[in-house]
Chains A and B, each alone.
Chain A
């Protein structure tokens, strides 16, 4: 588990690696270095268009290309992809059910120093609420790569959220497989199951290992597809574990906690606790400091589970 790589880097690699196998266009809005579309742009200049600092126009252009039969990746920061261009995504991409993959890099508080204006904590919520849209949040660079291929093969709109920082790569090409809408159950636990997305999957795995030492059995589900969500995996976890918990780098409203709650309620259960951004904006800081400030840590998951076990 020595290697560390960002999920956006996984996206950039996938675009290049898959370019001979699949035919697609990539658009960017003056952030090709940051969203990692830059390598693709150099290798396939005929299939790459930089639209400049104009996210609404970028999504509109993607809609036009796609209406003629193309698969298109439209990439920018999550804040602008889901926020600035929300209505273009809604009325252009999703209303017409077009093959446009909206890519939001720099999702969540844990993108660090750029601060609250750039830390999208609403994107999963915004994208999830649009009919026809599907939402994927990969947990590491390997998963990001397979998620990109899955998005190509999934007809219609997909939102992909990637992170900025290098994070541990715990999946390997050999052991990993991605099935759209099917969660990866990483550990089965009888006391608690933590359903996590993105960076929080690794923190949940860490918490599970830590608590095993105390005899507490903690399962971990990597809910990489937030929509359509894997109801079976949630139902099974409810049957296997005494408690369900969620963990995400996203606002507590509309994201993973909400999505899992909807399913848990349908089955007549409840969520015991959660780790999420508690309805406040982000701020500047390094990743580690922000993790502590917003409780997005292995330690916080451990503490919350210890509390659950006391009650």
Chain B
């Protein structure tokens, strides 16, 4: 187990690279990337059985970033974990480079599944979990879904499937940062109560603070003790978390920082330079 201080330092580096990537790309989605940075840190530095030197290891735990537009968080995490050189971050969204605007399993080491079109990740994670069950593999499957994303009907089709096939090797994490492009999720199309919905669909549900390492770790541990049903972790998060001028503002969903903003953000996060 890594001390929380180490996790904190990894998370800060990941957040700084989210800012660097979107700054260099002059586009992308920093807000929702920052909100999942702590969860990503725990997954890739604590929870998941993975090997950066062998990204296709057969019995590795699988990860599906269903909210694929927050690819900068996944890329920054994979770079921090050593799946590819950190320099790639500066070529995010550039022609001829591996880091596509949305995750691409054919091009990027460590990406288990392409994503970007919302609503599809839970179905795919189910397929991965079913494969493990039917082939006696012990790996577990993790997917992060946006709280706006659960407005997509396919999520609930997949929720039924996960419970129906008793996929206790599956953990769905809902990034409940409460904001989507057009405003708060309550204003646009309220999915609340999220926990009650997943409970009704047959999930074991855990509510946590998505920026508290202890709570994140404990939730993953608890999920492993649950037999016969999938787990949904509803993580209360802050969109833009860690960058003072980005927190809780929908406008940072899909716009990149300029040079001055990026420098300030990284100063706040790590005290480092752009």
Contacts and interface: CB of A to CB of B under 8 A. Distances in A.
A65 B165 CA distance: 14
Nearest to B128: A64
A88 B153 CA distance: 13
B161 A64 contact: no
Nearest to A58: B123
B121 to A, nearest CB: 8
B113 A67 contact: yes
Contacts of B153: 56
A96 to B, nearest CB: 5
Interface in A16-54: 25, 46-47, 49, 51-52, 54
B195 interface: no
A96 B105 contact: yes
Nearest to A47: B134
Interface string B187-210: 000000000000000000000000
Given A54-B157, A57-B161, A61-B126, A91 B116 contact: yes
Nearest to A59: B123
A138 interface: no
B114 interface: yes
A64 B127 contact: yes
Chain A interface, >50% SS class: helix
Given A64-B130, A65-B128, A51 B161 contact: yes
B131 interface: yes
A54 B120 contact: no
B127 A60 contact: yes
B105 A64 contact: no
A95 interface: yes
Contacts of A92: 114, 120, 124
B154 A60 contact: yes
Given A67-B127, A67-B128, A46 B105 contact: no
Contacts of B125: 64
Interface residues of A, number: 29
Chain B interface, >50% SS class: helix
B128 A68 contact: yes
B127 A96 contact: no
Contact of A46 (B106, B112, B122, B134): B134
A60 B124 contact: yes
Contacts of B128: 64-65, 67-68
B137 to A, nearest CB: 8
Interface in A254-272: none
B160 A64 contact: no
Interface residues of B, number: 32
Contacts of A88: 120, 123, 154
B134 A61 contact: no
B127 A62 contact: yes
A70 B165 contact: no
A297 interface: no
Given A46-B134, A56-B154, A70-B131, A61 B120 contact: no
Given A64-B124, A65-B128, A91 B114 contact: yes
B117 interface: yes
Interface string B95-118: 000000000011000001110110
Contact of A61 (B64, B114, B132, B161): B161
A154 interface: no
Contacts of B130: 49, 61, 64-65
Interface in B149-204: 153-154, 157-158, 160-161, 164-165
A42 to B, nearest CB: 17
Nearest to B105: A96
A96 B135 CA distance: 22
Interface of A: 25, 46-47, 49, 51-52, 54, 56-70, 87-88, 91-92, 95-97
Q: 9 closest pairs, A vs B, by CB?
A: A64-B127, A60-B123, A57-B157, A54-B157, A68-B131, A64-B124, A65-B127, A61-B127, A64-B128
